[in-house]
Amino acid sequence: PLTSPLVSITNSFLLVILFLQFVFHSYTTGFTLVNGNNTAKAEEYSIQEKQVFYSLGAISYAACVGAFPLVLTNRYTLRSPLTEFIVRKLLPAPLLGLMSAFTAAVVRSPDFEHGIEVMDRNGKVVGVSQKAGEKAVRETALSRGVLFGTTFFLPNVLTHFVQRAKFVKTPRTLAVVRMLFIMLVLSGMLPASFSMFPQRGEIKRADLELEILSSTEETVLFYNRGI
């Protein structure tokens, strides 16, 4: 709630936008590191130097991509009102959602490189599966992309209609209305995105590695997805 409205600022200097994007993605990356898959296997590589470098690279790349619409508007003259609306109002939202999913996938990459623990219905660890790790990372990245993509797309559209209808008179009031829209959508999207996939994920035994297939007769196994 504190960092998200900052990223919505579109009329500012490039360095300011880059900094705000960097702060935002740093926070979400740290959140992903803390709330990843907390199994015994994951703890062995949770602070590997490779994961730290991956995180820094993902944050820097995401910040640059997030600032791309401002670079585009500064470099080229957008003659068409529709083009300006798309680049300045609509494009930043899917980019932010895509980059949020990207950073989550990069930070959680050890989960599908090394695998995560899978358990039976009683919580007994059956083995370590890379395929379960891939599924957990894919679900987490998708939920993160939906969370921030929707949170910024809907307020931009709503603000555009408010502006066209001339419900507000000054740019400052319009900015306040936009921030209010962001906070309202974010408050609804947080529980919605976290509940897209269950925290205790399920995976079919037939989809797992051969060594796990031979170690259990359970048809469905479980894993900790992380947030």
Structural domain including 49 reads 12-224
| Residue 40 confidence (pLDDT) | 47
If you average pLDDT over every residue of the chain, what do you get?
84
- Give the model confidence (pLDDT) of 117-144 as tens digits: 999 988 899 999 999 999 999 999 999 9
Q: Is the pLDDT of residue 12 over 70?
A: no
- Please give the structure tokens belonging to residue 25: 């993605």
- Give the model confidence (pLDDT) of 82-121 as tens digits: 777 777 778 888 899 999 999 999 998 888 888 899 999 8
Q: Considering the chain, what percentage of its residues have pLDDT values greater than 90? A: 32
Q: Is residue 1 part of a domain?
A: no
Q: Is the pLDDT of residue 47 over 90?
A: no
Residue 34 half-sphere exposure, CB side, CA atoms within 13 Å? 6
CA distances (Å), origin 40, targets 23, 106, 146, 166: 30, 20, 29, 57
CA distance 73 to 49: 37
CA distance 145 to 155: 16
CA angle 186, 146, 74 (to 5 degrees): 85
Mean of pLDDT values over 180-193: 91
Helix (H/G/I), strand (E/B), else coil: 125: strand
Domains of the chain: total: 1
Burial of 146 (0-12, 13-18, 19+ CB in 10 A): middle
Q: Is residue 24 part of a domain?
A: yes
